[in-house]
């Protein structure tokens, strides 16, 4: 048993004691945002649930302290993955709690533009503000949220705010799932990217997953599901524990919550493509481009709440991009900077003088997820001309902001990164063009469900987590019905 359990949860001998002989009511694959919310709902409904997670269990007592260790221990493939042409990077969490451990916990409801385009593409009638509202409310009731207070904005946020004002752009404060960050004590939220060591960030470890485990959820970490076998009234999952022990588990129903790439890979490798032709299609990632402004004075962008503000300009939304003030730890920044050797080193020495704004685009060019004959995942995802136009419009706005604030130099980061991995199992009415039905089960498979980021039919251009939570709540009632 990992150390983390002892400090976080009540004595619970169901943790890491999964039973290969019994038939569970439900098995959930993946303990991220969706998996944790699903687990709580199902356990609360009295079901016997097993949660399988490929990543390790960490908690505030043992989250990796060094950035380099966090990358390799909390993410798939040693920290970073790439598309086929190696010009777009992806960060895919692999840890108990999934994205909620490493993400920035910024929460937004979808606007009409996002919901309308989901509805139009999927034909699913509940993608309206009215239908989603009760589910957003239920999701929000699980997590404490705070707007970053103005008095704690750091210098990077001030540059963002002043630059927006001088260019007549509109901005707003970010809302974050957090509690008692105590900035006045000198806490820096950038550390939360490796897991929050004060339990201030409201990851699922301290919200839904904690509650589910304390109420009898069975969980097995370090278990990668490799194969799914569907039978009429039972589902079997086969996988590997600690990369060496093969085990199989059975349940009446299966919930796939291993994210856009995880779900697609698993179903493709289990032979579902023949019956689900749209499997692996329509993959999106909100590619983001970080732009650094080099200033004469020290900015210390990583101090305090390192993200506080977002664009709220209807023009930006119409043009398909959003801006946020942001920063990254040193290894991340070093990957963004140009040059090699001495030139790169000299720039890195100025890290405390760098402000940073990211442009994230609402990508329009659908990618695809495939696997080769060895089961290895291949991501075909490129920016099309429209995507590049969106990126360039965002970068132009950032240039205006930094220039108006006296930046000595503006550096466009080397590497676009997709953090919001979405699609592959798109939801929709028609089996030919979608994978998941409006009742959240796979077309043709009434006992296999999904409600995580994989079911997004396209890119909303808005932080996805809150909507994943809301959809998962909605889906849970279909699983235990």
Ligand X SMILES: Cc1cc2nc3c(=O)[nH]c(=O)nc-3n(C[C@H](O)[C@H](O)[C@H](O)COP(=O)(O)OP(=O)(O)OC[C@H]3O[C@@H](n4cnc5c(N)ncnc54)[C@H](O)[C@@H]3O)c2cc1C
- Which stretches of the chain bind ligand X, using CB under 6 A? 29-35, 52-55, 91, 93-95, 98-99, 102-106, 193, 224-225, 257-259, 262, 266, 419-420, 452-453, 463-465, 468
CB of 296 to ligand X, least distance (A): 30
Query: Three-state SS for 116?
Result: helix
130: CB partners within 8 A, 6+ apart: none
Nearer to ligand X, 196 or 407 (CB): 196
β-partners of residue 175 are 147
β-partners of residue 377 are 371
CA 463 to chain centre: 9
CB of 300 to ligand X, least distance (A): 20
Considering just the CA atoms, what is the radius of gyration of the chain in Å?
22
Nearer to ligand X, 284 or 295 (CB): 284
Beta strands 23-29 and 441-442 are unpaired
CB of 298 to ligand X, least distance (A): 25
Residue with the two structure tokens 């995802």: 381
Residue with the two structure tokens 């040059």: 339
CB of 423 to ligand X, least distance (A): 11
Nearer to ligand X, 259 or 428 (CB): 259
CB of 208 to ligand X, least distance (A): 11
Nearer to ligand X, 104 or 122 (CB): 104
CB of 94 to ligand X, least distance (A): 4
Nearer to ligand X, 295 or 440 (CB): 440
Burial of 112 (0-12, 13-18, 19+ CB in 10 A): exposed
CB of 199 to ligand X, least distance (A): 17
CB of 106 to ligand X, least distance (A): 3
300: CB partners within 8 A, 6+ apart: 154, 155, 156, 352
Nearer to ligand X, 193 or 398 (CB): 193
Half-sphere exposure of 448 (CA within 13 A, CB side): 24
Distance in angstroms (rounded) separating the CA atoms of residues 253 and 261: 21
The neighbour count for residue 22, using CB atoms within 10 Å, is 12
Nearer to ligand X, 278 or 417 (CB): 417
Distance in angstroms (rounded) separating the CA atoms of residues 427 and 117: 13
Contact at 8 Å (CB) between 135 and 478?
no
Sign of the four-CA dihedral 419, 96, 141, 253: positive
Give the residue among 106, 121, 111, 108 at the shortest CA–CA distance from 318. 111
CB of 340 to ligand X, least distance (A): 26
Nearer to ligand X, 93 or 394 (CB): 93
Nearer to ligand X, 56 or 386 (CB): 56
Reported in sequence order, the residue ranges of 198-344 that DSSP labels E, i.e. its strands, are 218-220, 223-231, 234-241, 245-256, 281-284, 288-294, 309-311, 321-325
């Amino acid at each position: 048993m990992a150390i983390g359990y002892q400090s976080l949860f009540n004595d619970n001998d169901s943790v890491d004691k999964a039973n290969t002989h019994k038939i569970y009511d439900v098995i959930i694959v993946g303990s991220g945002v969706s998996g944790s919310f699903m687990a709580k709902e199902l356990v609360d409904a009295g079901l016997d649930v097993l949660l399988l997670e490929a990543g390790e269990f960490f908690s505030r007592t043992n989250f990796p302290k060094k950035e380099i260790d966090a990358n390799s221990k909390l993410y798939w493939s040693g920290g970073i993955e790439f598309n086929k042409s190696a010009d777009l990077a992806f960060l895919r969490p692999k840890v108990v709690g999934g994205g909620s451990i490493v993400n920035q916990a910024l929460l937004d409801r979808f606007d009409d533009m996002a919901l309308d385009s989901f509805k139009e593409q999927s034909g699913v009638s509940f993608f309206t503000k009215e239908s989603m509202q009760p589910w957003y409310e239920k999701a929000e009731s699980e997590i404490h949220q705070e707007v970053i207070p103005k008095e704690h904005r750091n210098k990077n946020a001030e540059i963002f705010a002043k630059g927006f004002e001088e260019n007549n752009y509109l901005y707003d404060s970010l809302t974050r799932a957090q509690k008692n960050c105590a900035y006045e004590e000198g806490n820096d939220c950038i550390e939360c990217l490796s897991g929050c060591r004060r339990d201030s960030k409201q990851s699922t470890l301290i919200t839904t997953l904690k509650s589910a485990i304390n109420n009898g959820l069975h969980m097995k970490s370090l278990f990668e599901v490799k194969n799914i076998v569907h039978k009429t009234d039972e589902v079997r999952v086969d996988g590997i524990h600690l990369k060496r022990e093969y085990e199989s588990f059975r349940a009446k129903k299966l919930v796939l919550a291993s994210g856009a790439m995880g779900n697609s890979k698993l179903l493709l490798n289990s032979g579902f493509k023949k019956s689900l032709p749209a499997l692996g299609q329509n993959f999106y990632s909100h590619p983001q481009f970080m732009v650094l402004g080099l200033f004469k004075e020290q900015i210390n962008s990583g101090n305090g709440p390192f993200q506080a503000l977002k664009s709220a300009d209807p023009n930006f939304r119409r043009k398909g991009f959003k801006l946020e003030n942001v920063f990254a730890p040193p290894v991340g920044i070093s990957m963004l900077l140009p040059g090699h050797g001495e030139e790169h080193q000299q720039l890195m020495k100025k890290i405390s003088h760098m402000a940073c704004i990211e442009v994230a685009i609402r990508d329009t060019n659908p990618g695809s997820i495939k696997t080769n004959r060895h089961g290895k995942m291949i991501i075909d995802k490129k920016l099309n001309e429209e995507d590049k136009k969106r990126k360039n419009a965002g970068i132009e706005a950032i240039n205006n902001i930094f220039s108006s604030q006296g930046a000595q130099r503006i550096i466009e980061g080397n590497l676009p990164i997709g953090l919001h991995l979405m699609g592959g199992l798109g939801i929709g009415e028609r089996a030919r063009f979608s994978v998941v039905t409006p009742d959240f089960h796979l077309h043709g498979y009434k006992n296999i469900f999904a409600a995580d980021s994989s079911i997004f039919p396209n890119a909303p251009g808005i932080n996805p987590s809150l909507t994943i939570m809301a959809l998962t709540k909605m889906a849970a009632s279909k699983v235990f019905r």
